[in-house]
Structure 1
Amino acid sequence: MDKPMIAVEVVYALADKQKLLRLAVPQGTTVREAALRSAMDGFFPGLDLVTAPLGIFGKAVPKPDERVLEEGERVEIYRPLIADPKEVRKQRAAKAAQNKADDAAKA
């Protein structure tokens, strides 16, 4: 007997383009399987669905090949980070400290 189907969404976005697909997948489908079934890489050349980080409703899924989806969940395919957030904060803090030192020197 066939497995019952559940409805899920798969979404991917770039700065200037986004795509949301509604899929019916067999119950027991994993997060990674849903991303692969979406064929989102056909809309976004260069997107690697086998290795892309994935999440559900804004929360990263550490093991997308094991996490089974539930009815109505939205799978999000994440882009790689362009810059390390910790490094960006460090640079911003250093710049603020330099500006403060420059202002103190002018006074």
Structure 2
Amino acid sequence: MILDRLGEQWTVMTLAELATGPRRYRELERALQGISQRMMTLTLRRLERDGHVLRHVEPTIPPSVTYELSPLGQSFASQVAALVAWSRQSKTQIEAARTAFDAKPRQT
């Protein structure tokens, strides 16, 4: 169950963003470039359901919604941080390896 959640791209990226502190919905949406509104909502709901994210609604017009990591979410995010850092550091090497692999003729 936990590994399934960890395997979701937007979960890891959302945790990384929220690790810097509470964020409003639109701030998260801007930070997570490429995420659809539907996927953003689903990801936040899943994280909230699992106890990783706390959702705060302020009774303003329109309502102001802020998300932050719970203590459980902070613990999870600290474990994920190394994976996020590695991914960012290795992106160029992985892309180069893929390009080299794709350029090789296929042997059947």
TM over 0.5: no
More strand by share: 1
Question: What TM-score comes out, normalization by structure 2 length?
Answer: 0.29
Question: What TM-score comes out, normalization by structure 1 length?
Answer: 0.29
More helix by share: 2
Which one has a bigger Cα radius of gyration?
Answer: 1
